[in-house]
Structure 1
Amino acid sequence: MALFKRRTVGKPGEWYYCLKHQKVEEGPECPAKDRFGPYGSREEAEHAMATARERNQEWENDPKWHDAPEDGPEDAPKGGSGA
């Protein structure tokens, strides 16, 4: 007996964007590694790549996602190993 069933049929109303085929799917047709979603509507799924670009840009500009300035931490010890 299989521990996991392979889900091949999606629920009506679940929309995905397939990265491999670059198309919108109702229900998961392609493997999870190849898709974004689920989305609540076909229109949301159609804009999946634009949404991902916008979110990536927001995260890139969010200081919470950067641990230290590009020049390095200001209070880092200079010289020596500190041990």
Structure 2
Amino acid sequence: MLEGIDDNSLDEIARIACGGDDYPVYRRAAELPKLLQHAGWENIPPYNGEQRRSWLTDQLRRRRDTPGPLTRSSAALPIGASTSIATSL
């Protein structure tokens, strides 16, 4: 489903998943590996201290062409986010 998605779209997914002032959920850096784990990912590298959004975007890019858990990650986004992302792609 997300195979071949461009970098800008992956960055937008990471922005929504990280949350902030404009989103109902704010995820701290330590919560990001747990988010991916909850979405079914395995062998997630530990958070390395870089900016949350950059770290998550990098993880999405690394697995962009791996079918499976990446497509399930939209279930862990805030309510309504996965719908708006899917329609904008």
Which structure has more RCO (C-alpha within 8 Å, separation ≥ 6)? 2
Select the structure of larger CA radius of gyration. 1
Structure with the bigger percentage of helix: 2
TM-score bracket for this pair, using the shorter chain length: under 0.3
Larger strand proportion of the pair: 1
State the TM-score, normalized to the length of structure 2. Answer: 0.22
Question: TM-score, normalised on structure 1?
Answer: 0.23
